[in-house]
Structure 1
Amino acid sequence: MAPLTSLRRYMNKQTEVVLFSSTAIALYGYDQGLMSLINTNFDYLQTMGLAESDPMVGVIVSVYYLGCAVGAVLASFFADAKGRRPGIFACLATASLGNLLMFIAGLWTSKGAMTLMLIGRTVMGLGVGGIDAVVPVYSSELSSDDARGTALAQEFQANVFGLNMAFAINLLLTNQLSKFNQWAWRLPIIIMQIYPIMLFAVSTRLPETPRWLVLHNKKDRAKKSLIRVFGEEGAQEQLDELITAHEKEQKDGMVSYSDMLFPSGPQFHPTVITVMGQINQALTGYGAVSVYGPQIFELLGFAVMTAEYLTMGNYLFYLIMMTFAWLLIDRMGRRWLLVHSAWLLALSFLILTLLGGLATNNTQLHISPLSAGIPGVIILYLATSTFGIGWLVPPWLIPTEIYPSSARAQGSAISVIIWGFANFAVTLLTPIGFNHLKYWLFLVFAVTNAFAGWWTWMYCPESGGRSFEENQDFFAEAGEKGRWKVKVVKGGEWLDMPEQGSDEEEGEGNKADDGGERQPLLGGLMRGSS
């Protein structure tokens, strides 16, 4: 009994929330790694009636992202109406159904196999897109101002774990069963069911966010939820703060999608930041690297099997280096990581263009393929880690920090929608780029990363270390100024993270006393545990 008692002592509510959210995010990562080797399985291609260079290979991969876009909208409405927790559960059930449809596609007959696979990918996208929209909101509403980035970065490290798990299972089964065996691609698909099963098993232990309960005038339930997390002491005080913040938002009026999507709307500016964050993340090219990893290494001159092992090594290094993401994001800030990572990625892809050219033309240049391939592996490993540290988390985190509570789920949904469409385009066009541009595809990514860094430096404010209300002050100041450049809004105050104990925090920024959201929900406990 002693070990069980000890486990229960450490498994408090905030730990359970992080573990649950991490497992849900790992489901998204698993799908990213799932299709890498399935796309090159000969039985899969034959069952779908496709050649390896057929554009439909990319369509099957990318249609998932369209499902994600639609799923984000549906899930945001559902989570706003029924709760964050029920929203997550509905999305898990949908993802599980889509996964099952993928598994049975062509199992008994190849007739209609590709159609069923497309349907399965789309349905699974609906579920995973919903998870991507709701889980960051759920997590952010249960984290303190100085721990929001750390919590989400830890959850996205689980995303990379899911990617590693999928690719490792794929690689193991491919080596054991061969690329001509149907179970080498079907088993990795159905094994994904472990994620929704685990999440459903612990679902009753999760709290609904008191912030959502207050938003829907369920004050008694909100207090019970706070007591469940904190105990009796301090619960009423935190409830009063949440009610005060909600009443202030009611005076300002509820936010609609038209307020967010049209230039005249009061939330249009944060929507542009959200949209461009996801577009720029897609432009880094790492949606393509995660799905088409082996093909990327083949461009550097490696044989198919070697490229697959190098991809596995890249994913493992990626997982380890993600530790720096949650160590740095609440210390250096979202903006600092985004800008510096984008420029490092641009330089990396520029070097990879040169190395890809040397590897492709090694015979004419009378050089060993390894003389370009080995440096290329090192650069690509470092570039992948740079993306994980700087670009994987902030585009998901920032939308949860810059909208008021009444628009947070919609903002997160818009984020997933743009992510879905942007990655649909990238994953659809990448195979075409392989076939026509070869190693010059690296140069395209060098240019797009340079653009992402420039745009972020110009227009993306630093949202870390501030309350939700303080972040909204940036947009109010920008509106008064009539300009969106960060360096000209209030003297560039939002260029960097505010210093701890600065005048901003102690003065106008300290809004916990007047009902602001400086201390969201699990604030004191999360700070103590980090």
Structure 2
Amino acid sequence: MGRFNLRRIMDKQAQVVMVSSTAIALYGYDQGMMSLINTNYSYLSTMGIDEESPVVGLIVSVYYLGCAVGAVLASRFADAKGRKPGIFACLATASLGNLLMFVAGFGVATTQHAALATMMIGRIIMGLGVGGIDAVVPVYSSELQEDDARGTALAQEFQANIFGLNMAFITNVVITQTLGKWNQWAWRVPIIVMQVYPILLFTGANLLPETPRWCVLHGDNERAKRSIRRVFGPDEVDDRITELVRAHKKEEEEGMATYADMLWPGGLQFHPTVVTVMGQVNQALTGYGAVSVYGPQIFELLGFGVTTAEYITLGNYLFYFAMMTVAWVLIDRVGRRKLMINGAFWLAVSFALLTILGGLAYNRRKLHIPLLATGVPGIVVLYLATSVFGVGWLVPPWLIPTEIYPSTARAQGAAISVIVWGLANFAVTLLTPIGFNNLEFYLFLVFAATNAFAGLWTYLYCPESGHRTFEENQDFFKEAAERGSWIVSRVRDGELQKLPAAEVEDEEGVEVEVAEGDQDRRRKKERRRKVQKKLDAHDETVPLLGRTST
């Protein structure tokens, strides 16, 4: 047992997942942190606003504007200086923003306007850091994982995102119940506790290498070999460095991608950028960003009291965390596309049911309906919607941009993903409290319609990117351009079942045609077989984190 645990800790791919998980937990912590701070009377008084003021949503949402800008700055920095230095710079920025939020309105001489301004600035600066982390970490993680384990790794990392959300919410509940909603430390302590994440990350990231792809991109093949040796083992060095150099030469012929190439119609990377943009837009349209930030208010809308709603929300977040295990079990087995399509369908159904239940709860006294008759089904439906979102929509929109671009555009693609995520969530979190105040339970019907749209768009235009090399995924877009259609079903169902063939010699020296993708998959399968044979010889088990069985 001791040998297994030691091996698991020392495995570099497992360490990549653990460090990346801790980084992504920052975003989850912020969501859980603000959901109860928004209802703290001391906080509202310090900022000079009331609970139903649009400024409450504005304070939450400006964070996402910071994320959008931070994604651009961090991706450029990470491309120039390295993925690891990019992560460190983002952590320092997020930590500074968090400190400003903590001291906002501190001291009797501080005015409400100064407190509000400090909180806004802190939210924006923290957004710069977290947005940068969300842009760089998925790229860093995907470049250090096997092709058939990228989804599992990122899903495990996003499970940590939900851990952060739970940690913040539990901290909030415990301190609020202990100190009360009029105590300033009931909202300041949950803010400063977030500093534990940068401290852990500054320590853990030092254990990891730079990604081999970035090293090859910058002409440092020797450093790339050292990284491969540390992460994948000495037996992998020759094959992997050959593949990376070959891919890089091919990308060099096409030149470095610019944002104009990605955002201008007709640009070489415009098609994958549209897929990236719509993935994040559709994730925002699922409505679950609003559910995670304004969970207590939703359960109040279903008829529960404030304290009861907070405890039910905590149960929802814990259920969310548990169900993320299903996500990382399925995402590399079922695929990204199928999870998103099915997820959008069931979310549409869930929000349609919540519209009915919300309407009954709103008219409960008039119709003489007991609370449990609407409240309990509402809890069940919202818990199920939470699990569906976690399994189907939390991870794929972040994962796909790290898989469909060449190395010359991958960081920019991840940045665009975060920018769109930031702007879309800025709009959703800003408009949600306004929607609750004006549309009430009909807001659920809006989300039912937007989920239907998200599912239809994904079915038509989003290709499967799992169990493919980066180069195979790029071939899909080339074939789509040749066929003049973006509809997935017209481009070999987005499955890339047949790739351009290359002549190779079989064991008897006879030249045969084998698809380039098949060659890659055969080499990787053979490498995994060798590794498994060595492990079996020592009667050990492959570590779970960062791996999938073959």
Report the TM range for the smaller structure's normalisation: over 0.9
Return the alpha-carbon distance in structure 1 between the equivalents of residues 94 and 464 of structure 2. Answer: 34
Is 1:507 aligned to 2:507, yes or no? no
1:177 is matched by which residue type in structure 2?
A: L
Deviation at 1:225, TM superposition (A): 1.7
Report the alpha carbon displacement of residue 110 of structure 1 after superposing the two structures with TM. 3.6
Percent of aligned pairs sharing the same letter: 68
Q: Which runs of 4+ in 1 moved over 6 A?
A: 495-498, 513-516
Q: 1:445 to 1:52 in 2, by over 3 A?
A: same
Give yes or no for contact 2:152–2:547 (8 Å, CA) kept in 1: no
User: Which string of whole-angstrom CA distances, capped at 9 and with x for unpartnered residues, describes residues 98-127 of structure 1?
Assistant: 000000001114410000000000000000
Paired residues for 1:122-133 under 5 Å: 122-133=124-135
Residue number in structure 1 paired with 2:502: none
Alpha-carbon distance in 1 for matches of 2:235, 2:391: 38
Alignment CA distance shift 1:22-1:483 (3 Å): same
Alpha-carbon distance, 1:236 to partner: 3.0
Contact conserved, 2:38 with 2:44, CA < 8 A, in 1?
Answer: yes
Distance 1:37 1:390 in 2: 26
**Structure-2 separation of matches of 1:380 and 1:231:** 45
Cα distance in 2, alignment partners of residues 251 and 390 from structure 1: 37
Query: What is the Cα-based RMSD across aligned positions, in Å?
Result: 2.4
TM-score under structure 2 normalisation? 0.91
Aligned-partner Cα distance in 1 for 2:403–2:304: 43
Question: Which of 243, 250, 253 pairs up with 1:251?
Answer: 253
**Residue equivalent to 1:470:** 472
Question: How many residues in Structure 1 have an aligned counterpart in Structure 2?
Answer: 520
Q: In structure 1, which of residues 211, 214, 221 is the aligned counterpart of residue 213 of structure 2?
A: 211
Alignment of 1:408-427 (within 5 A): 408-427=410-429
Determine the C-alpha separation between the residues in 1 that align with 2:335 and 2:129: 31
CA distance in structure 2 between the partners assigned to 1:529 and 1:395 by the alignment? 24
> In the alignment, which of 310, 328, 332 is matched to residue 326 of structure 1?
328
Q: Gaps spanning 5+ residues in structure 2: where?
A: 500-512, 533-541
Task: Report the Cα distance in structure 2 between the residues aligned to 1:30 and 1:513, rounded to whole angstroms.
Answer: 38
Decide which of 414, 432, 435 is 1:433's aligned counterpart. 435
Question: Which residues in structure 2 correspond to 1:445-460 (within 5 Å)?
Answer: 445-460=447-462
Change (3 A) 1:495 1:212: closer
* Aligned match of 2:79: 80
Aligned residue number for residue 59 of structure 2:
60
Deviation at 1:507, TM superposition (A): 3.0
Quick check: 1:406 aligned with 2:408? yes
SS of the counterpart of 1:327? helix
- What secondary structure is seen at the aligned counterpart in 1 of 2:468? coil
**1:135: which partner in 2?**
137
Which amino acid letter does the alignment assign opposite residue 415 of structure 2? A
Q: Which ranges of structure 1 fall in alignment gaps of 5 or more residues?
A: 499-504
Distance 2:265 2:230 in 1: 42
The residue type paired with residue 260 of structure 1 is M
Cα deviation per residue 1:190-247 (whole Å; 9 max; x = unaligned)? 0000000011122321110011001000112112222223443332332222112111
Structure 1 residue 252, shift from structure 2 partner? 2.0
Aligned equivalent of 1:94: 93
* More moved, 180-189 vs 237-246: 237-246
Matches of 1:368 and 1:226, distance apart in 2: 63
* Deviation for aligned residue 1:32: 1.1
SS of the aligned residue for 1:207 comes to: coil
Residue 54 of structure 1 deviates from its aligned partner by 0.9
Kindly indicate whether the alpha-carbon contact (under 8 Å) linking 2:476 and 2:496 is maintained by their aligned counterparts in 1. no
Q: CA contact under 8 A between 1:22 and 1:154: conserved in structure 2?
A: yes
State how far apart, in whole Å, the 2-side matches of 1:213 and 1:529 are. 29
* CA deviation after TM superposition for structure 1 residue 3, in Å: 5.7
